[in-house]
Chain A
Amino acid sequence: MTCPHPPEGPEPGRRRFLGAATTAMGAALATLAGCGRDQVEAFLQHNFRELTPDELRDTVARLEREARSKYGKEIHIGTEPALPGVLFGYALDLSRCIGCRRCAKACVKENNQSRGPQIEWIRVLQMDKEQGVDVTHADPYYDPELVPQEGHFYMPVQCHQCRNAPCTKVCPVGATWQERDGVVVVDYNWCIGCRYCMAACPYGARRFNWGEPGLPAEEVNPDTHYLGNRPRPKGVVEKCTYCIQRVRKGRYPACVEICPTGSRKFGNLADPASEIRYILEHKRVFIFKEELNTKPKFFYFYGV
C-alpha cells in the first residue's frame, strides 16, 4: 500500500500558526459582523487531517450542536482512529446474492443517507448468467415479484476502498484520502463539490448531494463518525465507508449484518484466521475491472 498516511498529531509550524491566526480572525469577524460564531468557524474550518486535538474537539462539538438544532435530536460524532494492525477487506458471494436489495436499504438507514433527493451507496446490478459480468447489459432498476429471477445473477456494487484509488489522486483540495485501516474517507466539511473524484471512480461508487439532503429527524441514526455517517450538507460528495462508525468498534457493516443469504463477508485482511482471508485462499475470487489496477479491497467470489 503506497497511500500516504495521515499525520497522527498536530502539524507543527506554519499550519498551526495560520490555524490560530484564522481562528482569532474568525472570532473577530464574528464579533464585528454579528453573525453566529458557529457559522464563521464552519467557514474557516480546516481539513480534518490538519486539525489539532483541541480544534477537532471544538469542531465535533459544533457539528453536534448544528445537528441538534437541525434535527432536534442528540447525535454523537465519533472520531475513533484506525485500529492498529487492521486492513479491512470485503468479499461478496456472487453465487449466493439473490438481489433482494436489503443491503442497500439497510445502508441507507445506518448511514443517514438523503431520502429525497434519494441517495443509495449500494447499487445492485441484475445481469444475465449467459453473458457474465458485463455492465453493458446490467440493469439496476429490476423490479420483479420475487428474486432471484431465472437466468439472472445479481452483483451489488459499492466503494471498493481501492489501495490504488483513482479518486484520492484527483481531489484538488485533498478532501478524500485513504485511512490507515484502508477505508477511503471524505471530509464533508472540506470537500468543495467539484466532483472530479466522481469522474475518476471506475465503479460509480460516489454520490453527490445535488440538493439539500432530505433526512427525516425520526430516521436519523445518532451513532455517527466524523468521516462516515454523520449527516452531510448540500454540495458534497459521499460514499460507502465500510460503516466506519461500526467497524472501528469491532462491529460488522450494516450490509453484512442484514444480508439474508450470508453473501457478504467482511474482516481484517491482516488476520490470517479471518473469514476474508479464508475466502481469498480457498475460493474463486475475481476483481471487478481488474485491468484498471485499482487494487480494490472488495472481492467478488463464487462460494458454490
Chain B
Amino acid sequence: MGIPATLLPPRWILGFALALLGARLRAQDIQVPPPPFTEGIFPCSACHDGKTLKVNPVRRELQGMHADIQLQHGPASRWCLDCHDPQDRDRLHLASGEKISFKVSYELCGQCHGEKLRDWRAGVHGKRTGSWNGPKQYLLCVNCHNPHSPHFQALKPMPPPVRPEAIQARRGGAL
C-alpha cells in the first residue's frame, strides 16, 4: 500500500514498541520466582556505577572480586560480558544488544538453548508445579542450573528399598 514514509512513526519508536510487545508476549502466563541472587549481590550497580569502576571489556580471568565464580559454561571463548550487560550491570543483554531483566533471564538462555526454552515453556523441561488443569508455577533456569556452571549437580540418593528377604513378621500388629 502506499503510505507516505513521513506518516510512519520513527524507527526507534517502532523498535521500542516491538520490544515491549515481545517482552509482554514472552512473559505472558509464566509465573516464576524471583531470581536467586546471592545475599547482598544485587543491585550490581551499587559497585558497577560506571564511575568508580571502569568497564574493562577485555576477556580475562577475574582477580579479586568475583574470582570465586567458576565459569564452566560452553566454549572457552565465552566470558562474563557475553551475558552481563557492560553498561547496565543490573541487567543482562541478548545477542542483539537488547537489555533484559534478570527476572526473565530465560530469554537469554533460550538464545542458545532454543529447544530447551521451547520445552520449558510447554512445561516439559524442568520442574513445574501447580495444577494440571489450572495455573502453574515455573522455575527460572537458574533455579536449577547455576548459570556460571550449569551442569546439574549430583544428589545423594535416598535409601534403597528393603530386600524381600529382610521383610519379617512383626509381633503386636500395627505400630
User: Are the C-beta atoms of A98 and B152 separated by less than 8 Å?
Assistant: yes
The interface bits of chain A over 114-131 (1 if a CB of B lies within 8 angstroms of the residue's CB, else 0) are 011110100100000000
- B40 within 8 A of partner (CB): no
Within 8 A of B (CB), among A257-299: 257, 259-262, 265-268, 271, 274-275, 278-279, 282-283
- B112 within 8 A of partner (CB): no
Which residues of B sit under 8 angstroms from A155, Cβ to Cβ?
Answer: none
User: Are the C-beta atoms of B127 and A259 separated by less than 8 Å?
Assistant: yes
Q: How far is the CB of A45 from chain B (nearest CB, A)?
A: 21
The interface bits of chain B over 162-175 (1 if a CB of A lies within 8 angstroms of the residue's CB, else 0) are 11000111100111
User: Are the C-beta atoms of A265 and B123 separated by less than 8 Å?
Assistant: yes
| Count of CB-CB pairs between chains A and B under 8 Å | 113
Which residues of A sit under 8 angstroms from B163, Cβ to Cβ?
Answer: 141
Q: How far is the CB of A216 from chain B (nearest CB, A)?
A: 5
User: Are the C-beta atoms of A212 and B174 separated by less than 8 Å?
Assistant: yes
- Identify B154's interface contact among A93, A115, A147, A267, CB under 8 A: A147
Which residues of B sit under 8 angstroms from A98, Cβ to Cβ?
Answer: 152, 154-155
22 CB contacts below 8 A, A to B, read A98-B152, A104-B158, A116-B175, A117-B167, A117-B168, A140-B161, A141-B160, A143-B159, A146-B155, A210-B167, A212-B173, A214-B175, A250-B134, A251-B131, A252-B130, A252-B132, A261-B126, A262-B126, A262-B128, A275-B122, A278-B123, A282-B119
7 closest A-B pairs by CB: A262-B127, A146-B154, A262-B126, A275-B123, A101-B158, A250-B131, A118-B162
